[in-house]
Amino acid sequence: MRRIIKDKQIVSDSFTVVAKDAEGDLPEGNLLLPLQLWLQRKELKLAAENEYGVWIDSDQDPFELKDQLEDAAAVAVNFPVFSDGRGYSSGRLIRERLGYTGELRAIGDVLLDQLFFMLRCGFNAYAVRSDRCIEEALQGLEAFSLSYQGANDKAPLFRVGAA
């Protein structure tokens, strides 16, 4: 079974990511559905005993999930390539503007160098690229001990110091 980092621990991944162009029957078990399938989920015959989440691409509008997140067991944002930073903005929007409090997962081209910054944007789960060492990637969450700027995870340093 694939392993992911969730809440700063390495755990087994209970979800299968369904491809955007999936046709026919869906796999068994807990699924992360692409946005279009997620929006159609009420018409699909999904097994009640499984959990379902949604994943979006970096070029999709997170606000399409508005009023759709209460049923999501997880929300994932796909980072198609290392240099595509749009997923960071999507993560912040999902956390801060849409108010999602559950598992927010980064999928796709996820590498150690990105994890600390993803954490600051509200991500709490990471499906690290399969050709990379997940144990080393976990250390990326502790790469910096202080951050001056405020973000989803912390107030700005100058406000913390004044308290």
Q: Which residues of 58-82 are buried (b: 16+ CB within 10 A; e: fewer)?
A: bebebeebeebbeebbbbbbbbeee
Q: What is the pLDDT of residue 161?
A: 58
Q: What is the pLDDT of residue 142?
A: 76
Please report, for the domain that includes residue 29, its CATH number. Answer: 3.20.20
Number of domains within the chain: 1
In the chain, % of residues over pLDDT 70: 87
Structural domain range at position 131: 3-162
Q: What is the pLDDT of residue 141?
A: 80
* 3-class secondary structure per residue, 8-35: CEEEECCEEECCCCCCCCCCCCEEEEEH
pTM of the model: 0.87
Task: List, for residues 95-145, the tens digit of each pLDDT value.
Answer: 999 999 999 999 999 988 889 889 989 999 999 999 999 999 998 787 766
- The answer on pLDDT for 44 being more than 60 is yes
Mean pLDDT of 67-94: 93
